[in-house]
Amino acid sequence: MNNNIYFLIGIIFLAFFLLWFVLHITDRRRVFNGLAFFVSLGSLWTLLFLIGYTNEIRTLNIITGAIMLVVIILLPILYIIGIVVLFTTGRTVIKREGFSLSHVLSILLGIGIISSSFILPIFIDKIKSKVLIGIMGFFVTVFSYFVIGFIIFLTSSLIYNLWYEKRNKDYLIVLGAGLSGDKVTPLLAGRIDKAIEFYNSQKEKGVQPPKIIMSGGQGPDEVVSEAFAMKNYALEMNISEEDILMEDKSTNTEENIKFSTNLIKKDSDKDNPEVLFFTTNYHVLRAGILAKSLGFNYNGLGSKTKFYYYVSAIIREYIGIIYLNLNKNILFAIFIGILYFLNYII
C-alpha cells in the first residue's frame, strides 16, 4: 500500500516538475507555469514526509517537519505583512501618483482578503439560514479563486523575470509608457536603460549589436511622440543613431508589438530575426502572453520600478490577464462557487 502511495505521489511530482521545466524552457509565457511549480514543490514535500514517517527515517522527519513548522509560522506572518503592504503601498501610490481606480486596487484587494477571511467565521454560528451562509460561502469561494490565481500569476511573473537571454538578438523593442513634456518619464527611462544595457553587453561580446526600436505614438496630451523622445534619450546615452528605429504610431501594447513587427519585416533581411522586447518588470509577462496570442515568438526583459508602484501595477496586470480569458475565468469561478453552495446546503 505504501509503495503504491509513494509511486503515485512520485509520479505527480515528476510529472509536474518536468512539465514546469519543459514549459519554462520552451515557452515561459504561461501563467500555468506558476501552478506547475507549486504542485511540484508540494508533491515533493508530501513524498519526502510520507517516506520519512512510514519508515521512521529521523533525518527526513526533521527536515520535512522543519519545513512544515516554518510554513505554519510564516503563513500568519505573511498574511499580516501582505495586508500591511497592500494598504501602505496603496496609500503611497495614491499620495504620489494621484487618486484613480487603478491606484486603489491594492487597498481593495486588502479589504477583500480581510473580509473573506473573517466574514464566515464570525457569522457562521449566528446566521440560522443555511441558504444565506451558502450564498456568503459562494462569494468567498469565488473571491478566493481569484486570489489564488493572483498568487500563481505573481509567482509566474517573478520566475519569468529570472530568465537569462542570449546575446544574439537582431532587434530590441522598447515599449512606450507616456512622457513628461517632451522628455521620457523615469519609468520609461528604466525600460530604455535596460535595453541599452543589453545592447552594450551584446556588443561587448563581439556580436553584431541589435537595432533598438523605440515604440510609442503621440498621445493627445503629448507634444512629441514617445518614440521621438525615447530616441533622443538613447542618443544622449551614446547609442548610435543608425542603430535606432522609430515606430511612432502605436497607442497600446498590442500596437507596439504589431507595428514594430511590421517595421522589422521591412528592415530585416532575415526570415526569422531574433527579437526581444523591453518593458517594466510588472508588465513583462502579460506583454509576452499578448505577443504569443498575436503569433509572435517574442520574450521580454523587465526593468525595475519602485516597490510601492509595483504592488498596484502587478494587480492591474493580473486583471488584464483575467480579461484575456474573461468568460472562462468567470464561468469556472462561478462553477466552484456553486459546488460550495450545493455542498453546504445539501
Confidence of residue 2 (pLDDT cuts 50, 70, 90): low
Q: For residue 64, is pLDDT > 90?
A: no
* Beta strand 179-180 pairing with 183-184: antiparallel
How sure is the predictor about 174, in pLDDT bands with cuts at 50, 70 and 90? very high
Confirm if 214 and 239 have CB atoms less than 8 A apart: no
> Cα–Cα distance between 301 and 292 in angstroms, integer?
15
* 121-125, 218-222, 279-283, 299-303, range with the lowest pLDDT: 121-125
CB 120 within 8 A of CB 134: no
**Does 232 score more than 80 pLDDT?**
yes
Which of 4-13, 144-153, 192-201 is modeled with the greatest confidence? 192-201
Measured CA to CA, the distance from residue 292 to residue 159 in angstroms comes to 18
Within the chain, where are the H helices? 2-26, 32-54, 58-97, 105-123, 130-160, 186-204, 226-236, 253-267, 284-293, 307-324, 326-345
Inter-residue contact 282 to 257 (CB < 8 Å): no
Residue 166's contacts (CB-CB under 8 Å, 6 or more residues apart) are: none
Check pLDDT > 90 for residue 185. Answer: yes
State the amino acid at position 97 in one-letter form: E
CATH topology for 171-280 is Rossmann fold (3.40.50)
CB atoms near residue 102 (< 10 Å): 13
Kindly list the domain boundaries of the chain, sorted by start residue: 1-56, 77-161+307-346, 171-280
Mean per-residue pLDDT, 191-202 = 96
With cell 537582431, the residue in question is 170
Specify the pairing of strand 171-175 against strand 211-215: parallel
Query: Mean of the pLDDT values across residues 55-80?
Result: 86
Averaged pLDDT, 209-219: 94
Which pLDDT score is estimated for 326? 86
> How far is Cα 170 from Cα 273, in angstroms, rounded to an integer?
6
**Gap between the terminal Cα atoms of the chain:** 34
How far is residue 271's CA from residue 128's CA, in Å, rounded to a whole number?
69
Using one digit for the tens of pLDDT, what is the confidence trace for 113-147? 888 887 767 777 777 778 888 888 888 889 999 99
pLDDT value at residue 103? 85
What's the chain's average pLDDT? 89
